[in-house]
Amino acid sequence: MNLVGVSFCKQRCFSSSSTSSSSLPWISPLQFLKANAPKPDPPPETSHTFTESQRKSKFISHEAAINLIKRERDPQRSLEIFNRVSTQKGFSHNSATYGTILHKLAQSKKFWAIDAILRQMTYETCKFHEGIFLNLMKHFSKFSLHDRVLEMFHAIQPIVREKPSLKAISTCLNLLIESNQVDLARDFLLNAKKSLRLRPNTCIFNILVKHHCKNGDLESAFEVVKEMKKSKVSYPNLITYSTLMGSLCESGRLKEAIELFEEMVAKDQILPDFITYNILINGFCREGKVDQARKIMDFMKNNGCSPNLFNYSSLMNGFCKEGRWQEAKEVFIEMKSVGLKPDTIGYTTLINCLCRAARIDDAMELLKAMKEKECQADVVTINVLLGGLCRETRFEDALQMLEKLPYEGVYLNKASYRIVLNSLCQKDEMGKANKLLGLMLDRGFFPHQGTSNEMLIRLCKAGMVDDAVTALFGLAETGFKPEPHCWEFLTEVNCRERKLLFVFVLLDELLIKESGH
């Protein structure tokens, strides 16, 4: 079936889709057909388009069209596919194909094209599902287009031809609350009550509870819970109580959190899950009350809820913060004994504890164990180890890790290099620091502005003036500009050593960088 809709001029489409990486001109998503208009020349045959022979020899089904649209990176070509399959005899787009092209366009910020597709959908006879609009609402919220979130909600009824469900209302309200659009959320909720005769359910009330807790307004959160208890259709559930307990723990109100926990279990007969227990374990660990956190886990096991990796990791982290590495290690061993396979977070937690206890060799052995167990160390794990090595002035080991790990498939970030470079400068290991700087610049990582200034001065003080000048030239390529006190020190040292040529060349280089020529 041919699509008929409103076309847009190229200029307008370009202005609304500047993020497109395609070098081809943007075309209208819908074909505007004029009765007497001559047909344009057919497009050249490419691997991305359908040829006449392909259309005759093979019928493209809805499923195949969806797969083609998903695989295509260029949104313009996705639209070509979407339009061309509709020219097949007996083919009509359905909710799935419309949903797929709208998702692709939303990802690429092709908002004018989305509007055109939505207008076309109002004339279609097929049955649409509101999930299309929930997806668009999430995309628009991600781009901070809050008015468009509301537009997508209000488009549900005319296109889906049904009133929005409670899920749609909850999704819209949650997106507005998460984006801190409180006024819009309030107006939306009032209009929903009036126009849709909305009776808020537990999910909607929970969104409001979460909003108040997020803003630290616990009194208002408890007022919402009172309203929930008055209603027969929106009684507080596990999510309600967990949200409140989490906020109480973050505020240090542990006694009230436990009282609420007991009320939930004894009075409302709601059984906690591992997430609820983890809120309490984290809360007590945060306040340095690790032994109480341990008792909560024991209570958890005695009441038929088996701790998971998150619970064990939280408890280990609590012992680590208290410097009780032996007990943290015991929790780690217990975790493995009950059949749980430690993940990267679990290993990293214990490695951090061992590093803080100056047990670097044990931490390094644990890193080897991770590799043997095929548990991939991430950049957090590596940075924890690098920090531990540097605190123990084991710089050769740290530098060796930085040199080799990228070749072993381990990702490093700028913090990895900066941890070691800062430590080398602080310990006046300027030869090693200069070598590391070269490695960093070769790999596209740059030191912090303050570290760069400090390093240049320390190189000069260590008698490595030539190295300081070379380092400055390398840093200047990254856009670095020395602070006045650093520049003054460099020129003074070079002049004192009668290296005036260096000074002139350096000054010329910096002036060129400054002028941009």
pLDDT at 96: 95
How is 5-71 classified by DSSP, letter by letter? Answer: -----HHHHHHT-TT---SSPP--SS----TTPPPPPPPPP-TTS--HHHHHH----HHHHHHHHHH
How far is Cα 469 from Cα 479, in angstroms, rounded to an integer? 15
pLDDT at 148 over 80: yes
Q: What confidence category does residue 473 fall into, taking pLDDT thresholds of 50, 70 and 90?
A: confident
Q: Domains of the chain: which residue ranges?
A: 1-127, 448-517
- Compute the distance between CA of residue 114 and CA of residue 136 in angstroms, rounded to an integer: 9
392-432 pLDDT, tens digit per residue, is: 999 999 999 999 999 988 889 999 999 999 999 999 999 99
Counting residues of the chain whose pLDDT is more than 90, the rounded percentage is 58
Tell me the pTM.
0.67
Given a cut of 80, whether residue 15 has pLDDT beyond it is no
- Looking at residue 497, what is its pLDDT? 59
3-state DSSP helix/strand/coil percent for the chain, to nearest 5?
70, 0, 30
The pLDDT assigned to 230 comes to: 84
Confidence band for 376, pLDDT divided at 50, 70 and 90: confident
Among 78-87, 381-390, 431-440, 498-507, the least confident range: 498-507
Tell me 263's DSSP state.
I
How far, in Å, CA of 139 to CA of 181, rounded? 16
